[in-house]
Amino acid sequence: MINNKYNAMTFSFELFPPKTAEGLEKLKPQIAALTAVKPKYFSVTYGAGGSTRERTFATVDWLRSQGIDTAPHLSCIGSSRQEIKDILIHYQNQDIHRLVALRGDLPSGMGSSESGDFRYANELVAFIRSEMGDHFHIEVAAYPEIHPQASNAVKDLHNFQTKVAAGANSAITQYFYNLDAYTKFRDDCHKLGIDIPIIPGIMPITNYKQLTRFSDACGAEIPRWIRKRLETYQDNPESLQVFGHEVVTNLCRQLLDSGAPGLHFYTMNQATYPLNIWQELGL
């Protein structure tokens, strides 16, 4: 049960769709453990170009069959308007009312001529609004440390503003370990009149190699003092996890104290790490 202080906030968990039916079976106990703490919803990622379409559907179907509030991710790059519309209707029929709307990244080897009817996420948000009205609560992605392909920080912020103006209700950030990056981004948004909730995305630190690989790809900075300690603990997973837990729990506490409207956990389909943080925060 969420502590009173946090009642009005949004706490959610992100899953990725398992590759096989057995993988989904293995995920179910993890979801059960996460459901026990009553998050607002689970989100399920979607591979760009529709590469995980059926797997995302299977995971979303199962969550809905359990009566769990679910927010499928939907990326638009490489898709036609009709394909996106079919998916929106599919989700509407499942009584889904929340989506995470994204551009996605073109799978390597796919040229820009195959990029489909949408170029940026703001076009997807506008399309969802024009086709489905207010049926969906639309989440979009935000980048406190700047999107890796952005030509500069100011343009990136204005592009975010355009996406919000197209009809987004709230945003979830890329993960970060620099508190100031979040507070500066949020304050800059306020100055531009962007007043939707911007929920920090939280990545537990559990595996050094995986974290550096992800961070290099998505442009999230691992501060030197964290990186150096993680390097030291590379062959000592227990110490690494204790240190990672401490760092991420402190970050979450500072975020909530500084007025963040909730937390979205990138679970990597593992309940233990986010739940340990959740419990220590007293949520």
Query: What residues are annotated to the active site?
Result: 14
121 binds ligand FAD (CB under 6 A): yes
Nearer to ligand FAD, 201 or 262 (CB): 201
278 binds ligand FAD (CB under 6 A): no
**Residue 185 CA, distance from chain mean position:** 17
Window 186-215: contact mask with ligand FAD (x via CB under 6 A) = ---------------x--------------
Nearer to ligand FAD, 105 or 131 (CB): 105
Shortest Å distance, C-beta 43 to ligand FAD: 8
Which 31-50 residues touch ligand FAD, going by CB under 6 A?
A: 45-48
149 binds ligand FAD (CB under 6 A): yes
Supply the DSSP symbol for 112. G
Nearer to ligand FAD, 87 or 240 (CB): 87
Question: Of the candidates 94, 105, 48, which has an alpha carbon nearest to the alpha carbon of residue 71?
Answer: 94
- Which long-range CB contacts under 8 A does 146-150 form with residues at least 24 apart? 146/219, 147/174, 147/219, 148/218, 148/219
156 binds ligand FAD (CB under 6 A): yes
Name the strand (E) or helix (H) holding 199.
strand 198-202
Type of residue at 265: F
162 binds ligand FAD (CB under 6 A): yes
Is 75 within 8 Å of 48 (Cβ atoms)? yes
In terms of phi and psi (left: phi > 0; alpha: psi -120 to 50; beta: otherwise), the region of 249 is alpha
Binding residue (CB under 6 A) for ligand FAD from 63, 99, 172, 211:
172
Shortest Å distance, C-beta 115 to ligand FAD: 12
159 binds ligand FAD (CB under 6 A): yes
CB atoms within 10 A of CB 26: 11
Q: Which stretch binds ligand FAD (CB under 6 A): 63-71, 108-116, 141-149, 220-228?
A: 141-149
Measured CA to CA in angstroms, residue 19 lies from 22, 174, 217, 258 at distances of: 8, 23, 21, 38
Binding residue (CB under 6 A) for ligand FAD from 120, 214, 233, 243:
120
Nearer to ligand FAD, 138 or 240 (CB): 138
Spatial distance between the Cα atoms of 4 and 151, rounded to a whole number of angstroms: 42
Phi, psi torsion values for 115, nearest 5 degrees: -80, -5
Which 55-84 residues touch ligand FAD, going by CB under 6 A?
A: 73, 75
Q: Which stretch binds ligand FAD (CB under 6 A): 1-9, 98-106, 206-214, 270-278?
A: 98-106
Spatial distance between the Cα atoms of 143 and 56, rounded to a whole number of angstroms: 24
Using CB atoms within 10 Å of the CB of residue 283, give its burial: 0 to 12 exposed, 13 to 18 middle, 19+ buried.
Answer: buried
Shortest Å distance, C-beta 57 to ligand FAD: 13
What residue ranges bind ligand FAD (CB under 6 A)?
45-48, 73, 75, 100, 102-105, 120-122, 141, 147, 149-150, 156, 159, 162-163, 172, 174, 201
